[in-house]
A and B are shown apart, each in its own frame.
Chain A
């Protein structure tokens, strides 16, 4: 299953998702981190620099930075510069509201990639999810980044509201010379409360799978492999990379398998007090995750394309990691004639 060298165990992650703060100036209704105000124990500048040193020593290639809103940290640009001095790529996810000309100038660096969040191609629809005025500010940020030829993508969370706007989002991204990335909505953070109302229906997910097959240039951040078809097999990963190729650091320095599994039972360690190498190599949580198998999926004809799907979705919908992803293509097709059910899917193993 998977890549033999990955299964052997890598000495370090390829990238690390680092949520640098819980603070955010927006209140998106699906926020996976339930961001808003700062929380006690958020890492200081010195602690962040130590962690960057630690990750660099292990030769982590890339930081995927988010939050909250990372640019809200007063020291963020300095932290970003320091990561670049160490040779690390920074892929920064932002709502764009802080990207003025001065900020955009500083982002003009070959190790910087920016992802601006937009959840619709129109202000009305987008602002219903992300807050009034957020669309306009994101578009201004995209304009500034485009003027400087900075590598940028638009990130959209697939919901019932963004689903009808996908074609327009492709066009919008193209108008800025940007890539479109559609990422998966998961019931974590504020997403737990909005999941039932916002998650796509089975029919919509099936349509989306077909749409993805016809839009090879749209990326998914390796989040939709449970519905990926053969056309997309070579475009990205077809399995969960948590604890094998990636992991997550919270704003308080806590380490978890991924950004969607920050519940207390998945806590793996605390930086910078503990060495990241020790957490990566020895954490019982990580060891358990690496041995995770979705046995009920192993006989499925799609197993090599999906490997059981996303454990985080399995966990949040069924309270267990090692169960099939309820939104897998095989189960969606089998359950097509069942009553429409948005939110918690019925599935068959």
Chain B
């Protein structure tokens, strides 16, 4: 199945499970932010 068809299928299933189609931000794609550290303030 093409990606667009898959997305459309998912959306129609979602509507059946949950008629409230307001976007749920908690379920949006996330990005992990990284921070290299080395002691943080460098004494010990």
Same complex: yes
Chain A positions within 8 Å of B, measured between CB atoms, are 3-6, 14-15, 17, 32, 64-66, 91-93, 115, 181, 183-184, 219-224, 234-237, 240-242, 245-246, 258-260
Chain A residues with Cβ below 8 Å from B44 are 17, 64-66, 91-93, 115, 259
Q: In whole Å, how far is A24's beta carbon from the nearest beta carbon of chain B? A: 14
A246-B40 in contact (CB<8A):
yes
Q: In whole Å, how far is A212's beta carbon from the nearest beta carbon of chain B? A: 12
Grouping DSSP codes into helix (H, G, I), strand (E, B) and loop, the B interface class, with mixed when no group exceeds half, is loop
User: Which residues of B (1-44) have their CB < 8 Å from a CB of A?
Assistant: 33, 35-44
- B43 is contacted by which of A6, A92, A237, A259 (Cβ under 8 Å)? A259
B39-A221 in contact (CB<8A):
yes
| A65 (CB) vs chain B CBs: closest residue | B44
- A259 is contacted by which of B36, B37, B41 (Cβ under 8 Å)? B41
Would you mind naming 16 contact pairs between A and B with Cβ atoms under 8 Å apart? A3-B35, A32-B43, A64-B43, A93-B43, A184-B42, A220-B38, A220-B42, A222-B38, A222-B42, A234-B36, A235-B36, A236-B38, A237-B35, A242-B41, A259-B41, A259-B44
Q: In whole Å, how far is B8's beta carbon from the nearest beta carbon of chain A? A: 34
A241-B41 in contact (CB<8A):
yes
A3-B33 in contact (CB<8A):
yes
Chain B residues with Cβ below 8 Å from A15 are 39-40
A221-B38 in contact (CB<8A):
yes
Chain A residues with Cβ below 8 Å from B41 are 17, 221-223, 240-242, 246, 258-260
Which 5 A-B pairs rank lowest in CB-CB distance, beginning with the nearest? A221-B42, A223-B42, A221-B39, A64-B44, A93-B44
